A and B are shown apart, each in its own frame.
Chain A
Amino acid sequence: MTATATTRGSGTDVRLTGISKTYGAFTAVHPLDLSVPAGSFFALLGASGCGKTTTLRMIAGLEEPTTGTVELAGKNVTALPPYKRPVNTVFQSYALFPHLDIYENVAFGLRRRGVKSVKKQVEEMLELVQLGDLARRRPQQLSGGQQQRVAVARALINHPDVLLLDEPLGALDLKLRRQMQLELKRIQTEVGITFIHVTHDQEEAMTMADTVAVMNAGRVEQLGAPADLYETPRTTFVANFLGTSNLITADVLGTAGDAILLRAGDTKLGLPATRCTAPARTGEKLLIGIRPEKITLTHADDAGTIADGRNRVTGRIAQSSFTGVSTQYLVDSSVATGLSVYEQNIERDTRLVPGAEVVLHWNPGHSFGLDAAQNVEAGTDVEAEGAG
């Protein structure tokens, strides 16, 4: 396909420097620096009202930054109106023109730039999003998923240097959303354009993006590859917003080699120093985090079978719920109440029912350390809202 061949690898890097946005007394985006490498699939992830959409709109030129600059491929475009920026947006509600058919919607950008013969390009683009036979329909005659594809086609046909996606899958049902996630990822790989994707769905961000920036209250909390963010969150917000984390407050006993020794209650825990983003000073507190699926649950009677060198916490099962692929337990222990544990449904131990005494144990290398001065609950409630 020529449309894709000519644009392959033509992505442009985006650099935001000290960019901020205030509305009166309200600061939507605190001054932030962000650098999106050319050709990458970049996600801005956060709960509603965290400033991610405002950031996107400032890149598009639909919102004027209060301070800071926007650079595309090293060129400062801060003062350029949206129609002069080599950037296109896929809007949250698609914003397809209801008075134009699909063909004319897709051709809109080309016609505005004075392209004479749009037929070939429009047809190719409609082929790419598999809507060739619907060219003469009106947007309102299409399903949500089809409208979404038209919105992508309408933006992509202009070969923008950067494609901005503002929660483009928010209006779709779960199954279609999963399908479109893969579809968008496929298109991005095919055309090689830089994609900046705004979403509140952490799973969506992790599935699609090469790099995710987690935003909270107008600030970037952490930026990195999805796996890095998940495995080594640097703040409690990221730990709780991306998936679920068990965070245990512990005292630092000291260091042994490259491990930090901690004590929570009368339980001793280990943590590799490389996986701790906070300074670990003996006598001070630290948060040790562990993901629920990394914990193994063993009945107290079998405690002897647990290998040495693992972090162990004893407790009692408070709740269990069967979800199909796994069983989720809530365990109350002396170090923390309500610890989450996900056990794969491979060999179910029938003794693991509420009230049972158990030992939670995990490889210390899977733990991560966080600064104890933070709110342990940060990001827990917003995730529930975001998932809704």
Chain B
Amino acid sequence: MSTFTATDQPPAPTAPAARRKRRVPYWLLLPGILWLLVFFAAPLVYQASTSVQTGSLEDGFRVTWHFATYWDALSEYYPQFLRSVAYGATATALCLVLGYPLAYLIAFRAGRWCNLLMVLVIAPFFTSFLIRTLAWKTILSDGGPVVSTLGSLHILGLTDALGVTEGHRVLATPLSVVCGLTYNFLPFMILPLYTSLERIDGRLHEAARDLYARPLTVFRKVTFPLSMPGVVAGTLLTFIPATGDYINAELLGSTDQKMIGNVIQSQFLRVLDYPTAAALSFILMAAILVMVTVYIRKSGTEDVV
């Protein structure tokens, strides 16, 4: 091994040319930075100021640094916060359980069907999120195929007992909302999982088998650890939007399944209490940021692997 010294470097190009060259990346970044400033940073600042305003629609809102709004919002709506996190986490876990085998199959076993299967995974995106969720409303309705099937199999009694359904109904229960979330965000789990699984060199599996690892051990010690980037990306891409989602709870749930997204939506659009709505948004954002940071820290270290 040799150590490189400064003299090994090619001679530096002349100063102005070099400076121009060095600026190119910044110029390329400019549109993205402008976009973020206008559509992300500015609304964020605006919402932050809204959240500490007081007043009414008639008299107008003024910044009074009224931080109590945060406390009031949290103490009034913490059940919806907890429910959002619980639903989001459950849907994420279900997506992982459903999505991992599917991604594994597509990455390693599908062969020439691989591309077709990936298209099928993405196919739901070709129709609107709203339409698809409305379709679920029909499918899960009281006289619909799901209820009659589950009912005749006596599964609904069990789910009623567990508290995820109620009164032999599926619609307007936690089950329907979590299923809706799972369904809608499943592709966000499968895509990163597939990408990270597909990148794994097949020879690593062979090497593991050659080194006395049984098929299950190969998965546990090689495949799964190497797919961790996909697992982390997939769970984040599922958990973050699922926790903030309000469409599924709106269309598939009742008032008992309201999530924090529904509260924010109604505060903004119906109650017109902008400070509370803004404060709730910030609490949600902060909570998700904290959870995500802890999660990434954990999964970044080898003890998760």
Contacts and interface: CB of A to CB of B under 8 A. Distances in A.
Q: Kindly name the residue among B217, B221, B225, B226 whose own CB sees the greatest number of chain A CB atoms within 10 A.
A: B221
Contacts of A81: 209
A84 B213 CA distance: 9
A62 B226 contact: no
Contacts of A87: 210
Nearest to B211: A109
Given A93-B203, A95-B204, A112-B217, A60 B210 contact: yes
A88 B210 contact: yes
B221 to A, nearest CB: 8
A338 interface: no
A83 B216 CA distance: 12
A82 B201 contact: no
A15 to B, nearest CB: 20
B222 A97 contact: yes
Given A93-B203, A95-B201, A112-B217, A62 B225 contact: no
A61 B228 CA distance: 29
B226 A99 contact: yes
B209 A62 contact: yes
B206 A83 contact: no
A113 B204 contact: no
A155 B209 CA distance: 12
B223 to A, nearest CB: 10
Given A97-B222, A99-B225, A112 B204 contact: no
Interface in B9-49: none
Interface residues of A, number: 25
B179 interface: no
B137 to A, nearest CB: 44
Given A91-B203, A99-B226, A143-B1, A158 B209 contact: no
Interface in B209-243: 209-214, 217, 221-222, 225-226, 228
A89 interface: yes
A95 B201 CA distance: 8
A61 B208 CA distance: 12
Given A95-B201, A99-B225, A112 B211 contact: yes
Nearest to A87: B210
B289 interface: no
A89 B205 CA distance: 13
Q: Kindly name the residue among A108, A113, A154 whose own CB sees the greatest number of chain B CB atoms within 10 A.
A: A108
Nearest to A157: B211
A84 B212 CA distance: 6
Contacts of A108: 208, 211, 213, 221
Interface string B156-188: 000000000000000000000000000000000
Given A95-B201, A97-B222, A99-B225, A112 B213 contact: yes
Q: Kindly name the residue among A91, A97, A143, A154 whose own CB sees the greatest number of chain B CB atoms within 10 A.
A: A97
Interface in A105-133: 108-109, 112-113
B212 A113 contact: yes
B110 interface: no
B226 A89 contact: no
Contacts of B222: 97, 99
A112 B203 CA distance: 18
B207 A97 contact: yes
Contacts of B221: 108, 112
A83 B1 CA distance: 36
20 contacts: A61-B210, A62-B209, A83-B210, A83-B211, A83-B212, A83-B213, A88-B211, A89-B206, A89-B210, A91-B207, A93-B203, A95-B204, A95-B207, A96-B207, A97-B204, A98-B226, A108-B208, A154-B211, A155-B211, A158-B211
Given A97-B208, A154-B211, 8 more contacts: A83-B213, A83-B214, A89-B207, A91-B203, A93-B201, A95-B203, A112-B221, A155-B210
Interface of A: 60-62, 81-84, 87-89, 91, 93, 95-99, 108-109, 112-113, 143, 154-155, 158
Interface of B: 1, 201, 203-204, 206-214, 217, 221-222, 225-226, 228, 305
Pairs A-B, 6 closest by C-beta atoms: A95-B207, A109-B211, A112-B212, A95-B203, A82-B209, A83-B212
